[in-house]
Amino acid sequence: LGGKIKLTEQMIDKLSVYYGLAIRRNCHSVEQIYSAIRTTYFHYSYDHSKCPIRIESWCTWQRASANGELRYYKHDYKALPQDVLHAIKPIYVDLTRPELFERCFGGFNQNNNESYNQLIWKISPKILPSGLATVELAAHISACMFNEGSWGILQIYAAMVIKCGSNIHLQWV
């Protein structure tokens, strides 16, 4: 499957990056993750019908279409041939099984320690100077979110007598 205009190492890297981005950008819905990953498969066959249709789309073809510039558009890559697409389709089918995405909700990856650390640094970024109390608070909130999900934050709000609207409870229950 390798060779000129075939499945190169560079193309495998691109597909891997898009796979990861599809998970991270759609980490709140198995259906959205599934759809985004399948979209990358079709994108590299020049089928852009499943790509996001908007001016800010990651798909340059859809951006050109949204801006009325398709007559000037040229792909910056060669489409994968049908034999390559046919050969990698079972891999895409295997990598889009819903049970693979269950641990990806909230942007978590398969490494639990890495996911927990990511939560801490989202709350208290490394690039900003923070005192011990701030980092400890970030660690406690992160532990709550990691173990209980967003429901844990609602429990903290309730303990602090912070009232939230009814819609927030519907989203997090």
**Cα 66 off chain centre by:** 23
| Consecutive 10-residue averages of pLDDT for the chain (173 residues) | 67 84 80 86 86 84 89 86 88 82 59 70 80 87 81 82 69 45
Q: Establish if 134 belongs to a structural domain.
A: yes
Does 68 share its domain with 97? yes
Q: What is the dihedral of CA 26, 29, 35, 40, to 10 degrees?
A: 20
Phi and psi (nearest 5°) for 5?
55, 35
Residue 173 is predicted with a pLDDT of 44
Model-level pTM?
Answer: 0.54
Q: Establish if 165 belongs to a structural domain.
A: no
List Cβ neighbours of 36 (8 Å cut-off, separation of 6 or more): 21, 22, 23, 25, 26
Does 67 share its domain with 127? no
Does 93 share its domain with 121? no
CA distances from 159 to 22, 146, 151, 155, 156 (A): 36, 19, 13, 6, 5
What's the total number of domains in the chain?
2
Task: Give the range of the structural domain holding residue 32, as residue numbers without chain letter.
Answer: 9-103
Residue 94 is predicted with a pLDDT of 86
Q: Establish if 78 belongs to a structural domain.
A: yes
- The token duo for 15 is 């597909």
Residue 110 is predicted with a pLDDT of 52
Q: Establish if 62 belongs to a structural domain.
A: yes
Q: Establish if 68 belongs to a structural domain.
A: yes
Measure the CA–CA gap between 27 and 14, rounded to whole angstroms: 20
Does 48 share its domain with 88? yes
Residue 132 is predicted with a pLDDT of 86
Q: Establish if 169 belongs to a structural domain.
A: no
Q: Establish if 54 belongs to a structural domain.
A: yes
Does 81 share its domain with 138? no
Does 74 share its domain with 116? no
Does 91 share its domain with 24? yes
Does 22 share its domain with 92? yes
